[in-house]
Amino acid sequence: MIKTSASLLASNLAQLALEISRCKKSGVDWVHFDVMDGVFVDQITYGSPVLKTVRASTDMFLDVHLMVEDPTKQIAFFAEAGADLITIHVESFCDIAAVLKDIKLYDKKAALAVKPNTPIEAVYPYLHLCDMVLVMTVEPGYGGQAFIPETIEKIKSLRKTADNAGYKTLDIQVDGGINEKTAELVKKAGANVLVAGTALFKAENMKAVCDELKKPV
């Protein structure tokens, strides 16, 4: 089953609760919460106090994407604020295995993200600690960018490697430039959790776009 995760970055942040209920009504599965620290990426977005208010306003699955230089200290904050899944970057400066284990200690799903220019092999030593791998399909930092087609091969290799290693239920998430057209490519390659910001929030009909993204290939 294909899932969609709506990136709040493209929503009307002054009306967060309304935007999230619009997602739920449209059949979106998860809410994607992009945390940027101004160091790992240029911009600064929002942190765990904001996630806490989001948690209070919805029962939707909250998917937290940490684009921060060192996520070590952040796990407790986001777990306690109500995250359901926490993603850290393999390029961040921390003990990757220890932080993934820490996420699991809080009884949350754990995921590892990889930037477009990082070889997919970088995540392989950690697959046993991951519920999901996020293959970035744009350079992290900004919403509304164009999909990078070279990432397709990384998704294919990851799906093959995970299957061969017995991780048949590993979720593969993609994030960046996902719309009705690029969705087909990533699903064919083996991705099953599609993040979309612009395509969902700027759509005239969010439900129609969501249905299209979730269509099996």
Active site amino acids: 34, 175
Interatomic CA distance for residues 90 and 193, integer angstroms: 19
Q: Which does 115 bind (CB under 5 to 8 A by kind): Zn ion, ligand DX5, none?
A: none
Interatomic CA distance for residues 23 and 138, integer angstroms: 23
Q: Which is nearer to ligand DX5, 46 or 167 (CB)?
A: 46
Among 4, 16, 23, 34, binds Zn ion (CB under 5 A): 34
Interatomic CA distance for residues 77 and 127, integer angstroms: 24
Encode burial over 121-155: b for 16+ CB neighbours within 10 A, e otherwise.
Answer: eebeebbebbbbbbbbbbebeebeeebbeebbebb
Contacting range for ligand DX5; rule: CB under 6 A; set: 76-84, 91-99, 143-151, 152-160: 143-151
Q: How far is the CB of 105 from ligand DX5 (least distance, A)?
A: 25
* Bridge partner list, 32: 7, 63
Query: Taking CB under 5 A as the rule, does residue 19 contact Zn ion?
Result: no
Scanning residues 30 to 69, which ones bind ligand DX5 (CB under 6 A)?
Answer: 32, 34, 65
Sketch the per residue contact string, 147 through 186, with ligand DX5: x for CB under 6 A, - otherwise.
----------------------------xxxx--------
Interatomic CA distance for residues 208 and 157, integer angstroms: 31
Interatomic CA distance for residues 31 and 108, integer angstroms: 15
Q: Contact at 8 Å (CB) between 44 and 71?
A: no
Interatomic CA distance for residues 161 and 78, integer angstroms: 30
Under DSSP, the state recorded for 75 is H
Q: How far is the CB of 200 from ligand DX5 (least distance, A)?
A: 8
Q: Which does 55 bind (CB under 5 to 8 A by kind): Zn ion, ligand DX5, none?
A: none
Q: How far is the CB of 35 from Zn ion (least distance, A)?
A: 9
Among 31, 111, 195, 210, binds ligand DX5 (CB under 6 A): 195
Question: How far is CA 96 from its chain centroid?
Answer: 17
Size of the site for ligand DX5 (CB under 6 A): 21
Query: Taking CB under 5 A as the rule, does residue 65 contact Zn ion?
Result: yes
Which parts of this chain interact with ligand DX5 (CB under 6 A)?
A: 7, 9-10, 32, 34, 65, 138, 140-141, 143-145, 175-178, 195-199
Which parts of this chain interact with Zn ion (CB under 5 A)?
A: 34, 65, 175
